[in-house]
Every structure is written in structure tokens, then in C-alpha cells.
Amino acid sequence: MKKQKIIILGVSGFLGKNIALKLSKNKKYQLFGTFFKKKIKINNIKLIKADLTKEKDVKKILKNKDVVIHAAAVTSGSKEVLSNPIKFVSDNVIMNSLVCKYSVLNKVKKLLLLSCSIVYASYGTKDILVKENQLNLNNNFYNKYFGFAWIKIYLEKMAEFYSKFKITNIVVLRHSNIYGPGDKYDLFKSHVLSALIVKTLNKKNKKIEILGKGTEKRDFLYIDDFVEVIKKILNKKLKDFKIYNVGSGKGVKINKLAKVIKKISGSSKEIINNKKFQGLNTNIALNSSKIKKEIGWRQKISLNQGIEKTLDWYNKKFINKKL
């Protein structure tokens, strides 16, 4: 049986690496993965160094591929997004444009694009379990999210345009806050859950500091649950263009998240709020009923279970290693 040729763009990143690790166990696939600076070790995958902002590189690597999983992006946590929002615009727009263009021109059968829940940031502090068709482009986005949100929206609209040629089946995944082993654990670049784990377990941090009031809500999903979505979509025949929410469906306050991490870890540190820091004050929780119905995906790992798994990995990787 001929193997399906799948290329994962951004295989050295958090999402790309976890997707590659899981798919590399399936003998039905012939895997390829791109990296830009950091080459990683994964069995059963051919690694290719490529600059996805260069047209010649993208054109070349997407030739003779059946599936493209676009997990490459310039990303960071809220701290860096707030301090340097310009950084995240240009490279992401260029990469997304080239990947869509050459997936179609090279007649790739299926293209998976990773959007995210930031596209719903225009709902502000409203408590809403938002569906795919409730994206409102007439509302103003929270100022600090403006550029990053529109990058993702532009990606989605561009994907819809390319899907109309009926050459490539394009699937867009608006995922919530993905967390777990392999994420960034750098306080300047990490996402909120990873940052709270560092502050909770690292001895250098005397207190667990929350940036801002901590009243904003986020939807959290463990990485293994997200990878299951990818695996199911690879085995599903879909129409030309699909958009799916992928999340837990529960909005969790950052203050509560810090308490959960503290309790599970057994930490005795005090939790404090740095109210001088203006956080990204939006509430986001995703209604994932569409993907549950059409793909058959279900979240399996609860927030507490996911945090336990992540804390166990972090301790082995960073804390116990130093002892």
C-alpha cells in the first residue's frame, strides 16, 4: 500500500513536534518536517531546513506531498505580544500566503491550517460559548490583539479563496489555548498556563505572580487532545473548505487556574496580582459541537488531568534534573 506523504511545517515548535511524535508511530504515513533554526530528533521523519518566508523554499518542499499540516508560526505569550506586537505580523502573513498558494499549485490533497480562538477577541469580557458562525468582524478587537487576530482572519479568508479552485481540501482549526509538555517555559515568551507553572515550581520565583487582575477567562486544551483532532481529520473525507472550533468549552479565570496549579503541585507560595500590568482582558470559550458531530472528536483529558501530566513532565525535565 502506498504511504501517504505528509509534511509538517514547523516541526520544531510545540504543536508541530507533538503532532510529529504521534504521527511518526503510524506506518501508513511517510513523514516530512521543516525546521528553520532548531533541528530536533524524531524517528521516522525526514527533516528539511527551510525558510517559509522564502517562495523558492515553500514551492520546493510542498512538491509531491499529499497532506500539509501548517504548524509554523511566530508566536509568543501575552507579555511579548503586548510589548512588541509588530513582530508577529509580517512573517506570519508571508508564510501563510505562500503555504496556501503552493499547496494549491502543487495539487496537495489536504491542507490543515491552524488558526486560533483569538479571532473571537472582539467579544471582549462577555461570557459566551462561541460558535464558528458567530465570528463578528464588525466589532472592534481589543487593541493589543488587533494585529494578531487579523492575521488569523486573513489566513482563513485566503484559505477559503484557494479552496474555491477545488484542488485542495482545506481545513482550518480555531483551537483554544493548547498546553502541555514541550511548550515554551520562558516567562517572557510562554503562554499563561506555562508561565504559571514556571512561577509555581521554580525556586527563583518567591511568589506566583499573575499579570493583571486575573479575571479574564480562557479555554484550555491539553496537547494530546488536540493531536487527536489532527489524526481524525487525516482519516476523514471532507468538503473543499471547513472551519472547526477545537476547545474544552469551559472558560477558566486566570486566578482560578493559578489556584488549581498551586494545589496540584503542592506549592505553598502566595498568589499575587500585579495590577500595574494591563492584561489581555477578553473572555474566550469555544463551542466545539460542530467538530464533535462531523469528525467524532471528544475531549478526553480534563484540565486537572492535563495539569498533572504537564507538572510531572516539567518536574522531570527541569526540576529533578537539577537535583
Domain ranges of the chain: 4-322
Cα–Cα distance measured from residue 109 to residue 233, given in angstroms and rounded to the nearest whole number: 13
Beta strand 169-175 pairing with 241-246: parallel
CB neighbours (10 Å) of residue 84?
Answer: 10
Cα–Cα distance measured from residue 109 to residue 240, given in angstroms and rounded to the nearest whole number: 10
Spatial neighbors of 290 by CB under 8 A, at least 6 apart, are 131, 132, 244, 245
| Superfamily, domain 4-322 | NAD(P)-binding Rossmann-like Domain (3.40.50.720)
pLDDT the model gives residue 69: 98
Spatial neighbors of 25 by CB under 8 A, at least 6 apart, are 44
Only one residue has cell 484540565, namely 303
> Minimal CA–CA distance to 2: which of 30, 23, 25?
30
246 strand-pairing partners: 175
**161, amino acid identity:** F
Spatial neighbors of 117 by CB under 8 A, at least 6 apart, are 174, 175, 176, 177, 219, 245, 247, 284, 286
From first to last of its 323 residues, the chain has per-residue pLDDT tens of: 789 999 999 999 999 999 999 999 999 999 999 999 888 999 999 999 999 999 999 999 999 999 999 999 876 555 555 566 666 688 889 999 999 999 999 999 999 999 999 898 876 667 789 999 999 888 777 677 777 888 899 999 999 999 999 999 999 999 999 999 999 998 877 889 999 999 999 999 999 999 999 999 999 999 999 999 999 999 999 988 999 999 999 999 999 999 999 999 999 999 999 988 876 678 889 999 999 999 999 999 999 999 999 999 999 999 876 54
Dihedral (Cα; 91, 13, 70, 281), 10-degree rounding: -70
Per-residue DSSP letters for 158-205? Answer: HHHHHHTTSSSEEEEEEE-EEESTTS---TTTS-HHHHHHHHHH-TT-
CB neighbours (10 Å) of residue 296?
Answer: 9
CB neighbours (10 Å) of residue 309?
Answer: 17
pLDDT the model gives residue 128: 81
Task: Write down the pTM of the prediction.
Answer: 0.94
Spatial neighbors of 101 by CB under 8 A, at least 6 apart, are 58, 162
Cα–Cα distance measured from residue 322 to residue 204, given in angstroms and rounded to the nearest whole number: 13
